[in-house]
Amino acid sequence: EAGVAQSPRYKIIEKRQSVAFWCNPISGHATLYWYQQILGQGPKLLIQFQNNGVVDDSQLPKDRFSAERLKGVDSTLKIQPAKLEDSAVYLCASSLDSGSPLHFGNGTRLTVT
Amino acid sequence: GEDVEQSLFLSVREGDSSVINCTYTDSSSTYLYWYKQEPGAGLQLLTYIFSNMDMKQDQRLTVLLNKKDKHLSLRIADTQTGDSAIYFCAERSPYNQGGKLIFGQGTELSVKP
């Protein structure tokens, strides 16, 4: 079974620029999550999708972050404009449904200078 | 509220047992998980336990759950240098609350030869 695919692996941008991350979940997984992991901390949920609908985006800074999951498969997470404190690893995860274990991708490491 | 606490560091000798502890606050948690994160990688699911169980054993891993005290532990028998990593405990909110995972800040396990 192929795992969760994320790209790019690394991204360096200047503050106020925009950036987008892409995630391809495990085939057949209905639930997709984006987590933010700041260095030295545990992952924090940004947004959760069930198919192409949003289940939880309560911790997503909506003034600068947006995410979509068109057709209920791939997802993109965008930051516009980026701030220094957005430097983190952005992890995508998927699960068969919202009661099954999460499987994580290797993440995208974002550095904002 | 939801909160998961872990000690930050643990150092053991190769061949010894490691015990990583975790406390959580949400008594309605359905499942509790242990994930492993190696440098530059995503989170790897190690094991999980349903909230109505006391213990689960899987090869070198033993999970103990004390639901009364909201305390979870992961014991790794015969710890190897390859077990050096950060270990995250996570609690799962109920299905009708979205089933999201709340992570602790991680315990860095260092295994010395």
Report chain B residues whose CB lies below 8 A from the CB of A56.
98, 100
pLDDT bracket for residue A19 (50, 70, 90): very high
How far, in whole angstroms, is CA B3 from its chain's centroid?
Answer: 14
Give the pLDDT band (50/70/90) at residue A27: very high
Q: Which residues of A touch B35 (CB under 8 A)?
A: 104
Chain A: residue whose CA lies nearest to B33: A101
Chain B interface mutation, best of A37, A98, A100, A106, highest count of B Cβ atoms under 10 Å: A98
- Three-state SS across chain B? CCCEEECCEEEEECCCCEEEEEEECCCCCCEEEEEEECCCCCEEEEEEEECCCCEEEECCEEEEEECCCCEEEEEECCCCHHHCEEEEEEEECCHHHCCCEEECCCEEEEEEC
Flag if A107 and B42 touch (Cβ within 8 Å): yes
At A99 the pLDDT is: 79
- What digits encode the pLDDT tens for the residues A62-99? 999 999 998 889 999 999 999 999 999 999 999 998 77
Binding-face residues of B in 88-107 toward A, CB within 8 A: 88, 90, 95, 98-106
Q: Distance of CA A61 to CAs A12, A67, A79, A102, B85, Å?
A: 20, 11, 9, 23, 30
Weakest-pLDDT range from A10-19, B14-23, B87-96:
B87-96
**A10, A97, A104, best to mutate vs chain B, most B CBs in 10 Å:** A104
pLDDT over 70 at B84, yes or no: yes
pLDDT tens by residue, B42-59? 899 999 999 889 999 999
What six digits make up the tokens of B2? 């939801």
Give the pLDDT score at B110: 97
Q: What was the pLDDT predicted at B14?
A: 97
Task: Name the token pair of B98.
Answer: 């979205």
Exposure letters A31-70 (e unless 16+ CB within 10 A, then b):
bbbbbbbeeeebbebbbbbbeeeebbbeebeeeebbbebe
In this prediction, residue B93 has a pLDDT band, given cuts at 50, 70 and 90, of confident
Residue in B43, B44, B100 nearest the CB of A56 = B100
* B chain contacts of residue A91, beta-carbon cutoff 8 Å: 42-43
Q: CA distances (Å), A53 to each of A45, A67, A68, in order?
A: 16, 11, 9
DSSP-derived 3-state class of residue A71: helix
Per-residue model confidence (pLDDT) at position A1: 66
Average pLDDT along chain A: 94
Could you give the percent of chain B with pLDDT greater than 90? 76
Look at A98 and B104 and tell me if their CB atoms are within 8 Å.
Answer: no
User: To 10 degrees, the CA torsion angle through A31, A37, A42, A47?
Assistant: -30
Question: Under a CB-based contact definition with an 8 Å cutoff, are residues A33 and B100 in contact?
Answer: yes
Given CB atoms, is B45 within the 8 Å cutoff of chain A? yes
B59: Cβ contacts below 8 Å, ≥ 6 apart: none
pLDDT digits over B19-46, tens only? 999 999 887 888 999 999 998 888 999 9
- A42 at the B interface (CB within 8 A)? yes
Which class for A112: exposed (0-12), middle (13-18), buried (19 or more C-beta within 10 A)?
Answer: buried
pLDDT band at residue B3 using 50, 70 and 90 as cut-offs:
confident
